[in-house]
Amino acid sequence: MDLTVTRAPRIAKPKSKDVKLTDVNRLWAAVVARDATHDGRFVYSVATTGVYCRPSCASRLARRENVRFHDSCSMAEAAGFRACQRCKPDQISLQNGYAAKVTQACRIIETAMVMPTLADLAAAIEMSPFHFHRIFKTTTGITPKAYATAHRRKVVRDQLSKGQSVTEAVYDSGFHSSGGFYAQSTDLLGMSPTAFRKCGAGMRMQFALAHCSLGEILVAATGRGICAISMGDDAEALRRDLHHRFSDAQISSGDKSFNKLVAQVVALVERPGGNMDLPLDVRGTAFQQQVWAALKKIRPGTTASYSDVAKSIAQPSSARAVALACGANPVAVAIPCHRVVKSDGALSGYRWGIERKRALLDREATSKPSRTKK
């Protein structure tokens, strides 16, 4: 008896879901820039090598026509690609786990009445002190101790700005005694606690808001010079922040001559590298002033690490303090704290947003600084 074998109909395997075509140009730009902020959001595969990578992979850039984008590692693998052994995109989940641990440690620091020791923090998140210290610094760019100091500064400033007494602010921020607080008050506030509580009393300043390619920008100045340059997405939020910081100052809208100064600031954002010396009225500690002066010496188109800046002011062991001084810079662009990066060249935090920092550096890298003869 003859048997007729009927082959089962072939069922096509579903193709892996790729990202929308409308996003391709944006994703390709992230790959070209090796933008680490996109790691974990998507991966890209290369047809000629058979591997898939994270956007920040340092391997040689593939030709655009050989690249595909995928929403996840599993989708790239379903399409027949294997993980790159250089950037290890399939291990991003481990890094996300580390980020969660660091976030947990930050919350512990912020809510503790007494600053926990490194050993206590490490034990709380089930890590060794050495490993915890390393991943905390890698993730945040600063040590747990420096983070605690920055948090104390924020609490003190917020409490004094709300009208609390110095004594209340001392204990709310985690200091054990007023003596310990006063010993650090100048570094924390940039002035004495009493002066800080005045919130600009007796000061007169003008301000104006403008729009630039990086969003909204606010410029404020006293009779001596510019005291604030802020950038953000919400103009009203920038205005509120200025009035909060200088709540007792006499603040008025800028006149026509002031608008010329604002135009100069906007020009500095749009066309970096020019030889523009803006008048400044910035107030800070002696150390902060020293750091800010050093930042102004970093030429457009170049960068320096926090350690480089520390060495330039003859304090090579103060890299962490330099980072805090950069974070306290009140005038974006005019004092170019955006030119300071990590020792490995990676971008670290920026008061006005890491994307703005990247954009400023990219513009300066492609702009030839104008030079004047002395």
Give residue 344's region: left, alpha or beta (phi > 0; psi -120 to 50). alpha
Number of domains in the chain: 4
* Catalytic residue check, 326: no
Q: Is 53 a catalytic residue?
A: yes
Range list of β-strands (E), the chain? 43-46, 51-53, 67-70, 82-83, 204-212, 215-221, 226-232, 250-253, 304-305, 340-341
Range of the domain at 214: 204-270
pLDDT of residue 215: 94
* Predicted pLDDT at 170: 67
Q: What is the CATH number of the domain that holds 129?
A: 1.10.10.60
Q: What is the reported pLDDT for 371?
A: 42
- Are both 246 and 158 inside the same structural domain? no
pLDDT (tens place) for every residue of the chain, 374 residues total: 444 444 444 433 334 444 454 578 889 988 998 887 777 788 999 999 999 999 988 889 999 999 999 988 888 999 999 999 988 888 765 566 677 788 888 888 888 777 788 999 999 888 889 988 888 887 776 788 888 877 777 777 777 766 666 667 666 666 655 666 666 665 566 556 665 665 555 678 899 999 999 999 999 998 889 999 999 999 999 999 998 888 778 899 988 889 889 999 999 898 876 656 788 988 777 678 889 999 999 999 899 999 999 999 888 888 888 988 898 899 999 999 999 999 888 898 888 999 999 999 999 888 755 443 33
CATH number at residue 314: 1.10.10.10
> CB-based burial of residue 114 (10 Å sphere; 0-12 exposed, 13-18 middle, 19+ buried)?
exposed
Is 301 in the same domain as 319?
yes
CATH number at residue 70: 3.40.10.10
In a domain, 185, yes or no: yes
The domain boundary, picked from 218, 236, 270, lies at 270
Catalytic residue among 57, 84, 227, 337: 337
In a domain, 107, yes or no: yes
Residues 329 and 238: beta-carbon distance below 8 Å: no
Provide the pLDDT for residue 359: 93
pLDDT at 355: 92
Final residue before a domain boundary, out of 212, 238, 270: 270
Query: Residue 306: what pLDDT?
Result: 93
Question: Is 10 within the bounds of a domain?
Answer: no
Final residue of a structural domain among 87, 112, 130 = 87
The predicted pLDDT at position 16 comes to 40
